[in-house]
C-alpha cells in the first residue's frame, strides 16, 4: 500500500508535468520593474561584498604611513579610478535605498501590493539617479 504522502507526491508530479511553454532566452523576456529592482538589489549586494575588501585594503594602505597615503592619493587622482569610485558609490546608494524599501515593506509601513511595489521601485531608481549625480559632483 502506498502511504498518504506518496499519493500526494504522485498528484504533485502530475500537476508539475503539465506542458508549459519554455522560453530560456532572457533577451526576449519583459521583466517587470519590481523584478528588475529585486535582481539589481541582489547583484549590488554581491558587488558591495567584494568591493568592501578592496576598499578596506586601500584604507589600510593610506593609514599605514605617510608614504602609503601619498601613493593612494596619487592613484585616486586618475580619471579611471574616480569613475570606478563613482560607480561604487552609485551601487552603494542603490543598495541602501533598495534595502530601506524592503525594510519598510517588511515592517508594514508600505503595502505589499504590486502597485506599491512598482511605485517604490521607481522611487528607488529615481533617488539612485539623484544620489549618483551628487556622488559624481563629490568625486570630481
Give tens-digit pLDDT for 101-130.
999 999 999 998 999 999 999 999 999 999
Return the closest-CA partner of residue 118 out of 42, 32, 40: 32
Q: Is the Cα dihedral 41, 47, 50, 55 positive or negative?
A: negative
Q: Using one digit for the tens of pLDDT, what is the confidence trace for 38-54?
A: 999 999 999 999 999 99
Confidence label for 5 from pLDDT (cuts 50, 70 and 90): low
| 2: pLDDT strictly greater than 70 | no
As a whole number of Å, the end-to-end CA separation of the chain is 75
Domains, the chain, ranges and CATH?
A: 31-139 (1.20.1300.10)
Could you give the CA distance from residue 89 to residue 55 in angstroms, rounded to a whole number? Answer: 12
For residue 3, the model assigns a pLDDT of 56
For residue 24, the model assigns a pLDDT of 72
Amino acid at each position: 500500500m502506498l502511504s498518504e504522502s506518496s499519493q500526494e507526491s504522485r498528484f504533485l508530479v502530475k500537476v508539475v508535468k503539465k506542458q508549459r511553454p519554455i522560453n530560456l532566452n532572457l533577451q526576449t523576456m519583459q521583466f517587470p520593474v519590481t523584478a528588475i529592482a529585486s535582481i539589481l538589489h541582489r547583484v549590488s549586494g554581491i558587488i558591495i561584498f567584494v568591493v568592501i575588501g578592496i576598499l578596506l585594503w586601500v584604507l589600510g594602505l593610506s593609514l599605514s604611513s605617510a608614504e602609503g597615503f601619498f601613493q593612494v592619493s596619487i592613484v585616486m587622482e586618475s580619471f579611471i579610478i574616480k569613475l570606478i569610485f563613482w560607480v561604487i558609490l552609485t551601487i552603494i546608494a542603490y543598495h541602501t535605498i533598495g534595502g530601506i524599501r524592503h525594510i519598510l515593506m517588511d515592517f508594514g509601513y508600505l503595502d505589499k501590493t504590486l502597485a506599491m511595489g512598482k511605485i517604490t521601485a521607481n522611487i528607488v531608481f529615481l533617488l539612485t539617479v539623484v544620489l549618483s549625480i551628487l556622488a559624481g559632483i563629490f568625486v570630481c
